[in-house]
Each structure stands twice: as C-alpha cells, then as structure tokens.
Amino acid sequence: MLAEKEQQLVRSLQECMIVCNHCLNECLAEPHVGEMLDCIRLDRECAEFCSYLEQAVIRKSPFVQELTSLCISICGECAKECQKHKHKHCQYCAEICTQCLEVCKSYLD
Amino acid sequence: MLAEKEQQLVRSLQECMIVCNHCLNECLAEPHVGEMLDCIRLDRECAEFCSYLEQAVIRKSPFVQELTSLCISICGECAKECQKHKHKHCQYCAEICTQCLEVCKSYLD
Amino acid sequence: MLAEKEQQLVRSLQECMIVCNHCLNECLAEPHVGEMLDCIRLDRECAEFCSYLEQAVIRKSPFVQELTSLCISICGECAKECQKHKHKHCQYCAEICTQCLEVCKSYLD
Amino acid sequence: MLAEKEQQLVRSLQECMIVCNHCLNECLAEPHVGEMLDCIRLDRECAEFCSYLEQAVIRKSPFVQELTSLCISICGECAKECQKHKHKHCQYCAEICTQCLEVCKSYLD
C-alpha cells in the first residue's frame, strides 16, 4: 500500500513526533523552564509538521515533495535549538530530528 | 517514551490510517464510484480521527480515554460500510478497522 | 454552504483556538511558569480539539454530534483550570472556553 | 490577540476550507464523478493545508512565512484544476482559492 521509501519516511516522522513531544513535556518539567521556551515552541512545531507530513504521505498527496523540503528546515531548526541544551531529552531530540531530516533528504533524492 | 500499550495503539492507528486512505483512493478509481460515496466519506473520517488520536496518545493527552471510546464508534461505522462492498480493498479495510477497534477496546480495559 | 447554526459553531471554535493559544503563549512567558503547566497542557488540548471539530463541521462529518459532546468536556476542563489563575489571559480564556461550551450545547439542542 | 493582517489571513483560509470541502462534496455527487477525481483530490489537499496554516498562524508559528508560500502553490493548483470544470461549485471554488492565494501573497509583502 505504501512503497518501502514511503514506509521509511512515515516511520521516521512518527518517531520524530514521539521524541519531540517527549522533549516538550520534559522541558515543561525542568526547574529552569524559562530557559526552555524556544525549545518548547520548536518541539511543538516540529511534532505538528511531522504529523501533517505523515498524513500527506499516507494519502499520497501530490505535494509530498514540497512538504518534505519544508520538513527538512523545520527538523533542522528544532535540532539546532535542542543542541544548545545539555538535558538528555534535548540531546536525544536533536539526534532524532537530525535523523528525520536525513530520511527526508534521502526521500527527495 | 511510550509504554508498550500506547505503542501498540499508535501502530494500529497508523495502519488503519494507511488502509482507510488506500481504500478511499481505490474507491475513487472504481467504475461504479457513485455507489462508493458512503465508503469514501467514512474512510476519510476514520483516517482523520485515527490521525488525531495518534497525536493525542503521543502528546499524552488527558483525554485519550474519551477519544479512544469515540474511535471505537468511528472504526466500527467504517468497518460496517466497507463490509457491504465486495471489493478487495473494502473487505481488507473492514478487517483492519475491526482490528483497530479491538486494539482500542483492549487499550481501555 | 454552511447553515447559520454551523457557522456560529465554527466562529466560536475559531475564537476559542485563538484565545487558548494566546493563553498558552502568555503562560509560557509568566515568571512562575512552573505553576502554569496544567493550564499550558489544557490550552493545547482545547486548541487542538477545537481545530479538529472546526474541520469536521466544515467537511460535514457524520460524527459532528459525538465530537461536539466531547468538545463540551474539553472546553469545560480548560475553563476550570484557567479559572484557578488570576492572570488576565487565563480569566479571559476561561470566559471564552465557557462561551464555546455554551455554543456547543446549543448546537446539540 | 491576532493583528489585523493575521486575522485577514485566518478568515480567508477558513473560507477557502469551507468552499473546498463544499466543492469536494458536490463533486462526489456529480453524475460524472469519474471526471472529477483530480478536483476531489486537490480540494482535499487545499482544505487540509489551509487548516494547517490557520492553526500555524493562530499559534504564532515561526514558520508562517514558509507555510504561506506553500499555500500559494497549493491554492493555485486547486484553482487551476477547478477552472477546468464548468460546474458552479468548481467555478466558485476556483474564485475563492484565487482570492485566498492573493491574501497569502499580500500577507508576505
């Protein structure tokens, strides 16, 4: 129903949604939550867009390429912000966002 | 990050989204598409709601129980409509919606 | 294209989405953001569900009634939490959520 | 809570969602529905993306500019397809998509 390439993208987007939401929830629970606001906002953005792209891939949208390009930027911005913080959840989120970004890139090749 | 129970629900919802969208696309390609309109509409409803519930589980929404109850009805209505049609994609969609409904039920137990 | 009743519901849901997101953003900017976590989470839930219901009304979903019932609970929970806080944005959000809940109720009558 | 510019965009996106979903439903009811498949698919795409952008504007996403650019393409493709069909709902949908596209453009100016 989905080709292997689409399945890989969908799996990666779902993992990214899970990890961004986890990071968001953990950031809210940090004692210095005031320093985590950009991270919280970008986690939400990244999770929302990954979910939108997941649905677009699944419904075989004709705009998957343009949406995937945009996903590369959004995952990249989220990874960049997460890398600034030393919390384990932020470091892990940076890693998964970067991985998702790579899967998006190889999808477009 | 997600407990096994949540992971199973998320996997089942994603499969249901994929199969409902496949059924919808195939219904649109049927020669007697005029007879498939209820199926097309319910496939869309079921896919949209499964996607919403997937996101709610992933963000650890406090309303997951109520949303899962509603998902049982929506998957049930979609399965009932799909069962009326002899096309392979409809029969398969009925099967996967019923399976998703069972996973929702066992999640609530 | 939409009956007056549906238009009123859609307008109310959109206003609620705007006000919940505003409250969420303002809560994140509060000096005691650690005390606002439940409010932040419920603002997000309420905004997401209002958006889903808005789309469901607009696409003339057969599940609008069930979704509207659930919206009443979600707006109610968000209003209850917002009422606990003396910030203007929380008090205003409680007011708009309660108003949206009333529009949902009168839609179902 | 939203600046006049954002309010105008949100109003236009909501109108576009309503009209695209109306066109989609009417296309499904056309006797020659087999000729309307591209229109049905693009109506859905356009409605889904307008809804996503509406939410992004409302939550003050840092990606509103990039999303609005993409919305211009999607509304444009939907308008182009709708213009091919002489049905009143298609002609009207083409008009509203073009109007939404213009509001998106002036938002970016």
Answer whether residue B1 shows pLDDT above 90. Answer: no
Check residue C7 and give left, alpha or beta (phi > 0: left; psi -120 to 50: alpha).
alpha
Q: How confident is the model at residue A13 (pLDDT cuts 50, 70, 90)?
A: very high
∠ CA B73-B75-B80, rounded to 5°: 95
| CB-CB neighbors (< 8 A) of B29 in chain D | 37
- In percent, how much of chain B has pLDDT > 70? 100
What is the DSSP annotation of A1-51? ---HHHHHHHHHHHHHHHHHHHHHHHHHTSTTGGG-HHHHHHHHHHHHHHH
Length of chain A: 109
Residue A88's pLDDT is 97
Residue B37 distance to chain D (closest CA, Å): 7
Residue C20's pLDDT is 98
Q: Do C25 and D60 touch (CB under 8 A)?
A: yes
Residues with Cβ within 8 Å of A102's Cβ and at least 6 positions away in sequence, in order, are none
Residue D34 distance to chain B (closest CA, Å): 7
Residues of chain C with pLDDT under 70: none
- In percent, how much of chain B has pLDDT > 90? 96
Residue D1's pLDDT is 87
Assess D69–A contact: CB distance below 8 Å, yes or no: no
Give the CA dihedral C2, D67, A84, A95, nearest 10 degrees: 90
| CB-CB neighbors (< 8 A) of C41 in chain A | 28
Residue C1's pLDDT is 87
Assess C25–D contact: CB distance below 8 Å, yes or no: yes
Q: Establish, for the pair of chains A and D, how many residue pairs have beta carbons separated by less than 8 Å.
A: 36
| CB-CB neighbors (< 8 A) of B35 in chain D | none
Q: Which two tokens stand for residue B72?
A: 């049982």
Q: What is the mean pLDDT of residues A26-36?
A: 93
Assess D17–C contact: CB distance below 8 Å, yes or no: yes
Question: How far from A71 is each of A31, A65, A74, A103, CA to CA, in Å?
Answer: 31, 10, 5, 10
Three-state DSSP class for B76? helix
Domain of D58, in residue numbers: 4-108
Q: A56-103 pLDDT, tens per residue? A: 999 999 999 999 999 999 999 999 999 999 999 999 999 999 999 999
Q: From the list D28, D31, D34, which residue is nearest B40 (CB)?
A: D28
Answer whether residue B4 shows pLDDT above 90. Answer: yes
Residue B52 distance to chain A (closest CA, Å): 9
Residue A42's pLDDT is 98
Q: From the list B28, B31, B44, which residue is nearest D37 (CB)?
A: B28
Residue D51 distance to chain C (closest CA, Å): 7
Q: Do C62 and B70 touch (CB under 8 A)?
A: no
- CB-count burial class (<10 Å; 0-12, 13-18, 19+) for A32: exposed
Residue D74 distance to chain B (closest CA, Å): 20
Assess A37–B contact: CB distance below 8 Å, yes or no: no
| CB-CB neighbors (< 8 A) of C66 in chain B | 70, 73
Answer whether residue A7 shows pLDDT above 90. Answer: yes
Answer whether residue B53 shows pLDDT above 90. Answer: yes
| Residue B73 near residue C66 (C-beta atoms within 8 A) | yes
Residue A68's pLDDT is 98
Q: What is the mean pLDDT of residues D7-13?
A: 97
CA D97, CA D42: separation in Å to the nearest integer? 11
Q: From the list B21, B59, B60, which residue is nearest A58 (CB)?
A: B21
Answer whether residue D15 shows pLDDT above 90. Answer: yes
Residue D67's pLDDT is 98
Residue of C nearest to A41 (CA): C25
| Residue C71 near residue C65 (C-beta atoms within 8 A) | no
Q: Do A47 and B60 touch (CB under 8 A)?
A: no
Structural domain total, chain B? 1
Residues with Cβ within 8 Å of A67's Cβ and at least 6 positions away in sequence, in order, are A52, A53, A56, A61, D70
Residue C2's pLDDT is 94
Answer whether residue A1 shows pLDDT above 90. Answer: no
Three-state DSSP class for D86? coil
Q: Do A33 and C29 touch (CB under 8 A)?
A: no
Token pair 């493709």: residue: D77
Assess A33–C contact: CB distance below 8 Å, yes or no: yes
Q: Do B59 and C44 touch (CB under 8 A)?
A: yes
| Residue A22 near residue A16 (C-beta atoms within 8 A) | no
Q: How confident is the model at residue A17 (pLDDT cuts 50, 70, 90)?
A: very high
∠ CA A55-A60-A62, rounded to 5°: 110
Q: Pick the closest to residue C28 from C44, C52, C49, C13 (CA basis).
A: C44
Three-state DSSP class for D33? helix
| CB-CB neighbors (< 8 A) of D47 in chain C | 55, 58-59
Q: What is the mean pLDDT of residues B45-54?
A: 98
| CB-CB neighbors (< 8 A) of D33 in chain B | 33-34
Domain of C38, CATH number, reads 1.20.1270.360
Assess A95–D contact: CB distance below 8 Å, yes or no: no
Q: D85-95 pLDDT, tens per residue? A: 999 999 999 99
